[in-house]
Amino acid sequence: MTKERLFFALWPSDNIREALRPAADAVRDAAADGKTVSQDKLHITLRFMGSLDADQWKAAELAASRVRERSIDLLLDRAGYWPQSRVLWIGCGEVPDALLGLVADLNTELGGEGFELTGRPYRPHVTVARGVTDCAELPPIRPIHWEPAHFVLVRSQLGAGDPSYEIVGEWPIR
């Protein structure tokens, strides 16, 4: 049975992507090396699901459909670098409780469908470059206000180059 690599995410609108571009470029300039994430692929992962078969995919969708709506006000106002994962990112200086609530809700519903939570504590971020081994001091970010209207399920296909992403499900947040 074929399996698909899937993850839940907040997917920026075109306007937010436009606003993210100069910020991402400025942050990217601080990196000594690594690979830039293209503008159309910028996102915030809510939960990485890994490879799911068709039944698991359906169960994940069912869980998502049970997530309560809420309004989330994100202020993307800081950049960061995680040397261990070699990731350069943009995120929130203060992560809103509503975002953590959404992720907690999603995880609870996924738990009810048999998906166990593994891995590190959740730290929401937009990855702007990968494979960065060193970087200079990061510039300040001109804050970007983002109120996502929905969250999505994304299919990721790995290839020789960048992974390709396809939105395969969408649920309202507010």
Provide the residue count of the chain: 174
Q: Does 11 bind ligand 2AM (CB under 6 A)?
A: no
One residue of 4, 7, 52, 128 binding ligand 2AM per CB under 6 A: 7
Closest CA to 100 of 66, 61, 72: 72
* Least distance in angstroms from the C-beta of 168 to ligand 2AM: 13
CA distance 119 to 169: 24
What number of chain residues touch ligand 2AM (CB under 6 A)? 6
Q: Does 87 bind ligand 2AM (CB under 6 A)?
A: yes
Region 117-146 residues binding ligand 2AM, contact defined as CB under 6 A? 127
Q: Does 45 bind ligand 2AM (CB under 6 A)?
A: yes
In terms of CB distance, is 66 or 155 closer to ligand 2AM?
155
Decide if 145 is catalytic. no
One residue of 36, 48, 66, 80 binding ligand 2AM per CB under 6 A: 48
Contacts of 116 (CB under 8 A, 6+ apart): none
Decide if 150 is catalytic. no
* DSSP 8-state class, residue 119: S
Closest CA to 106 of 173, 24, 158: 173
In terms of CB distance, is 34 or 72 closer to ligand 2AM?
34
CA distance 66 to 83: 36
Contacts of 144 (CB under 8 A, 6+ apart): 16, 19, 20, 23, 75, 76, 77
User: Annotated catalytic sites, by residue?
Assistant: 43, 125
Q: Which residues sit at the interface with ligand 2AM, rule CB under 6 A?
A: 7, 45, 48, 87, 127, 156
